[in-house]
Amino acid sequence: MSIYAIGDLHLSLNQEKPMDIFGDNWFCHEQIIKENWLKTVKEKDLVLIPGDFSWAMNIKEMYDDFNYLNTLPGKKLLLKGNHDYWWTTLASMRNFLAANNFKNIDFIYNNSYEYEDKIIVGTRGWSLNDTENSEKMNHREEERLKLSIQNGINNYGEKEIICLMHYPPLNKELTKVGEYVNIMKMYNIHTCLYGHLHGRSHKDAFEGIYEGINFKLVSSDYLKFELYKIDYSNKRQYNI
């Protein structure tokens, strides 16, 4: 069984919001993702989606997008992104899934998920701008990350932890490094997957190992709409 990741699907199956206005590579991107997904993911695999799953404005508009995801193989874990305006309480979202018989989707939201010998945790994060609002929002998100990690340890014990974020927790030049990195270090986390960056912003992504943590950008367009497989066979790559 394998773990894959792909962020920023930006689905809008129940409304007209074509993504190719952001570039020709986005033309029919949901079909490209589906084709790649079906060639790659098996039913017992796990797929991590760190934010910006749908353009829907509320949970009632989510049926088509969730149905798209539900028909694809694997268990899917969704994290909140800055464009997931439909996102509500964990109980409400799970109730919506249950009412529509969507059985292979769940959420990371102040909680955690166990998959084999791994624990999945995460939080949305926020922009690392030097503003009062950014400082406030980042402090809140840092506390949510701690809650998620502690939930995982309390429920599942000492296991390898994979951290999901939507916003990048650091920039390419390492001139802005969020407190999230120190939190990951404190809990001995070696893998962080994030999204949010598109198009020209891909050049701003930090990828590789910093402070013992392997950072990877998994925005769908950055991955050319293919799924990224987390390869734990190369222990040195992940500093495990």
Domain boundaries, the chain: 3-229
Q: Which residues pair with 5 in a beta bridge?
A: 48, 228
Query: Which of 42, 61, 33 has the alpha carbon at shortest distance from 3?
Result: 42
Question: Given this model, what pLDDT does residue 233 score?
Answer: 57
Question: Given this model, what pLDDT does residue 19 score?
Answer: 67
Q: How many CA atoms lie within 13 A of 80 on its CB side?
A: 19
Question: Given this model, what pLDDT does residue 240 score?
Answer: 39
Q: Which residues, given as ranges, of the chain have pLDDT below 50?
A: 234-240
Question: Given this model, what pLDDT does residue 21 score?
Answer: 58
Report the chain's mean pLDDT, rounded to a whole number. 93
Question: Given this model, what pLDDT does residue 41 score?
Answer: 98
Rounded Cα–Cα distance for residues 26 and 18 (Å): 8
Contact between 52 and 81 under an 8 Å Cβ cutoff? The reply is yes
Rounded Cα–Cα distance for residues 31 and 197 (Å): 21
Question: Given this model, what pLDDT does residue 27 score?
Answer: 86
Provide the CATH number for the domain formed by 3-229 in this structure. 3.60.21.10
Question: Given this model, what pLDDT does residue 206 score?
Answer: 98
Q: What are φ and ψ of residue 195, in 5° steps? A: -135, -135
